[in-house]
Amino acid sequence: MPSGFIFGLNVAEQYLKNKTFKHVLVVAAEIMTRTLNWKDRATCILWGDGSGAAILTLGDDGPEILSSHLHTDGANGRDLLLPGGGSKTTPISHESVDQGLHFLNMIEASMSFRVAVRHFVEAIRESLEFNHFEIEDVDWFIPHQANMRMFQNIANSLKVPFERFYLTLPKYGNISSASCAISLDEAARDGSVKPGDLICLPVFGGGLTWGSALIRW
């Protein structure tokens, strides 16, 4: 799920805070192209494949996760799903493929767009309020790489320059849960993110799931 990397960070964060482990590897990997209907040109061009990872270490040095926040709500869960996903349709047959049961379906796209924007904004505000920061304090917003127009709407809602959103969407498409990890890595590697920067990682995905993490680099 697109929110998976932040959900993974949250679990890892608890293990570290409880001193159960000193090091935790969080990996997000997706092969979205195997879920696509290549005859549906409206959706098949949006997605990509990739993976990203982070090693979290208990200590005082280096970047710090200030907080992470998770939410789920099944009310709109059917807006984005694989109808025959998991073990729901087994064994996979020519009939089930022809019926589109193994392709990613996006239902009521306009409604999903509005819901996603609202939850993205809520997740960002939640992480900042929890840590007593203002929108102006954030150096970078590195979201799950979902939709360019969506990010423009989020920037307008928050009244922040669009340039403060770090995006890899034009290069790789939507890589679901891996996109946050990949984008954060690229931002660090190309020097966009600097020591001391405040970074917000908001996510939204099917289920529905959404959340955020706030990091001091």
Q: Which domains does the chain have, with CATH numbers?
A: 4-216 (3.40.47.10)
In angstroms, the CA 21 to CA 140 distance is 29
Distance, in Å, from the CA atom of 188 to the CA atom of 195, rounded to the nearest integer, reads: 9
Model pLDDT, residue 94: 53
CA distances from 131 to 8, 78, 145 (A): 20, 33, 24
Beta strands in the chain, from DSSP E residues, in sequence order: 23-31, 49-57, 64-72, 80-81, 105-106, 140-141, 198-205, 209-216
In the three-class reduction of DSSP (H, G, I as helix; E, B as strand; rest coil), residue 129 is classed as helix
Give residue 168's identity as a one-letter amino acid code. Answer: T
Q: Which two tokens stand for residue 187?
A: 């931002």
Q: What angle do CA 96, 98, 103 make, to 5 degrees?
A: 75
In this prediction, residue 99 has a pLDDT band, given cuts at 50, 70 and 90, of low
β-pair type (198-205, 140-141): parallel
Asked whether residue 187 carries a pLDDT value surpassing 90, the answer given is yes
Which tops the pLDDT comparison, 39 or 17? 17
Spatial CB neighbours of 193, under 8 Å, sequence gap ≥ 6: 139, 140, 166, 184, 187, 199, 217
Place of tokens 């917003």: 141
Q: Comparing C-alpha atoms, which of 73, 96, 94, 93 is closest to residue 83?
A: 96
Q: pLDDT > 70: what percent of the chain?
A: 82
pTM as predicted: 0.85
Number of neighbours of residue 38 by Cβ within 10 angstroms = 10
Looking at residue 157, what is its pLDDT? 95
pLDDT of residue 78: 62
Give the range among 12-26, 89-103, 143-157 with minimum mean pLDDT.
Answer: 89-103
* Sheet strands side by side (includes 140-141): 64-72, 209-216, 198-205, 140-141
Residue 18, pLDDT score = 92
Angstrom CA distances, 38 to 43, 91, 164, 168, 170, stand at: 8, 22, 34, 23, 19
